[in-house]
């Protein structure tokens, strides 16, 4: 599958290191393609392509938004036309500069905002509850349990595709249905960040949801 990452930071790079050996083709959308090309190829593999965000989104089957929350609506608006009909994965968390939660209200979430800005795309919320430090080969599990990738969206086919990608990356996918459930998934991410940063627990932890 051809996957585009919009963004070249730690989440985009780390997820790419898991998708690439699983056989997926990767293209990165960067504001500065030339300097990012060598770095990403060294970090991930020689087959990685780097171009502009628009060109990356145009050619991909799946587009992963791996950008800061503050850039989310701007990027979505810029790419809205080219993202029509595409599967778009929102990995963002609404946080302040000090990593404290940015409260969007009881009836809103970053995932829902993305869906509103991309009404003709198949938006899925995923990978936002897993720290980039755990998105590394061999680190997708803790104490024998694969970390859970919580996935929500309104298109069943899209969420199933993302579940397959999560499994390819070494995580345990769990589909929690509609995009409105991004409210709860993002709240879990806020708790994860509070434990890691606010209470000094570190980013080596993660959630593993166990079902009988």
Q: How many domains would you assign to the chain?
A: 1
- Establish if 209 belongs to a structural domain: no
- Establish if 206 belongs to a structural domain: no
Residue for token pair 């459930």: 181
Domain coverage including residue 114: 2-198
- Establish if 212 belongs to a structural domain: no
- Establish if 127 belongs to a structural domain: yes
- Establish if 203 belongs to a structural domain: no
pLDDT in tens, 144-192: 999 999 999 999 999 999 999 999 999 999 999 999 999 999 999 999 9
- Establish if 95 belongs to a structural domain: yes
**What CATH number has the domain bearing residue 56?**
3.40.50.720
Pairwise CA distance, residues 143 & 72, whole Å:
34
pLDDT in tens, 109-157: 999 999 999 999 999 999 999 999 999 999 999 999 999 999 999 999 9
What the block records as the tokens of 3 is 């996957």
What the block records as the tokens of 107 is 């009836």
- Establish if 211 belongs to a structural domain: no
What the block records as the tokens of 113 is 């905002």
Quick check: pTM over 0.85? yes
Using an 8 Å Cβ cutoff, are 168 and 3 in contact?
A: no
């Amino acid at each position: 599958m051809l996957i585009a990452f919009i963004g070249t930071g730690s989440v985009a790079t780390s997820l790419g290191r898991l998708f690439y050996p699983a056989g997926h083709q990767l293209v990165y959308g960067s504001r500065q393609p030339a300097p990012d090309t060598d770095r990403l190829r060294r970090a991930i593999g020689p087959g990685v392509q780097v171009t502009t965000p628009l060109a990356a989104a145009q050619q991909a089957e799946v587009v992963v938004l791996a950008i800061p929350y503050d850039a989310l609506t701007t990027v979505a608006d810029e790419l809205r036309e080219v993202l029509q009909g595409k599967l778009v994965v929102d990995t963002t968390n609404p946080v302040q500069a000090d990593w404290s939660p940015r409260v969007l209200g009881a009836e809103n979430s970053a995932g829902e905002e993305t869906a509103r800005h991309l009404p003709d795309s198949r938006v899925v919320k995923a990978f936002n509850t897993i720290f980039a430090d755990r998105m590394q080969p061999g680190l997708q599990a803790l104490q024998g349990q694969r970390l859970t990738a919580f996935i929500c969206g309104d298109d069943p086919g899209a969420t199933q595709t993302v579940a397959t990608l999560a499994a390819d990356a070494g995580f345990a996918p769990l589909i929690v249905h509609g995009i409105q459930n991004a409210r709860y998934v993002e709240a879990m991410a806020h708790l994860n960040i509070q434990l890691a940063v606010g209470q000094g627990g570190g980013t080596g932890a993660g959630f593993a949801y166990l079902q009988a």
